Structure 1
Amino acid sequence: METDIRFTHKTLVEQCKAGNSSSQFELYGLYVDAMYNVGIRFLGSKEEAEDIVQDSFVDAFKNLNNFKYDSSFGAWLKRIVINKSINRLKAKRIPVVPMDAHEYHLSDETPLETNPVDIKKVKLGIAKLPDGYRQIINLYLIEGYDHVEIGEILNISTSTSKSQYHRAKKKLLEIISEM
Structure 2
Amino acid sequence: METLSYQDVNRHVIDRCREGDNRAQYELYKLYSKAMFNVSMRITNDYAEAEDVLQEAFISAFKNLHSYKAEASFGSWLKKIVVNAAINAVRKRKSELVPLEERTVGDVPDEVYEDETEWQVEKVRRAIQKLPDGYRVVLSLYLLEGYDHAEIGEIMGITESTSKSQYSRAKKKLLEIMREPQFAA
- What is the TM-score with the length of structure 1 in the denominator? 0.84
Alignment partner, residue 154 of structure 2: 152
Structure 1 segment 78-157 matched on structure 2, within 5 A: 78-93=79-94, 116=117, 117-157=119-159
Cα distance in 2 between the residues matched to 1:159 and 1:23: 42
Matched, 1:30 2:25: no
Runs of at least 4 residues off by over 3 Å: none
Q: CA deviation at 1:41?
A: 0.8
Task: Give, in whole Å, the separation in 2 of the partners of 1:120 and 1:38.
Answer: 17
Amino acid at match of 2:34: D
Partner of 1:51: 52
Measure, in 2, the Cα distance between the counterparts of 1:139 and 1:130: 14
Give the AA of the match of 2:11.
K
In 2, the alpha carbon distance for the partners of 1:66 and 1:144 equals: 23
1:19-78 CA-to-partner distances (Å, cap 9, x unmatched) read 111111111110111111111111111111111111111110011011000111111111
**How much does 1:93 deviate?**
2.4
| Number of positions where the alignment pairs a residue of Structure 1 with one of Structure 2 | 157
Distance 2:122 2:55 in 1: 28
CA distance in 1, matches of 2:34, 2:126: 20
Percent identity among equivalent residues? Answer: 49
> Which structure 2 residue ranges, 5 or more long, are not aligned?
96-115
Q: C-alpha root-mean-square deviation of aligned residues, in Å?
A: 1.4
Any unmatched runs of 5+ in structure 1?
A: 95-114
Measure, in 2, the Cα distance between the counterparts of 1:158 and 1:46.
Answer: 29
Code of the residue aligned with 1:5 in structure 2: it is Y
Q: Distance in 2 between matches of 1:34 and 1:27?
A: 12
Structure 1 Cα separation of the partners of residues 151 and 12 of structure 2: 30
Partner of 2:106: none
Alignment TM-score, normalising by the size of structure 2: 0.81
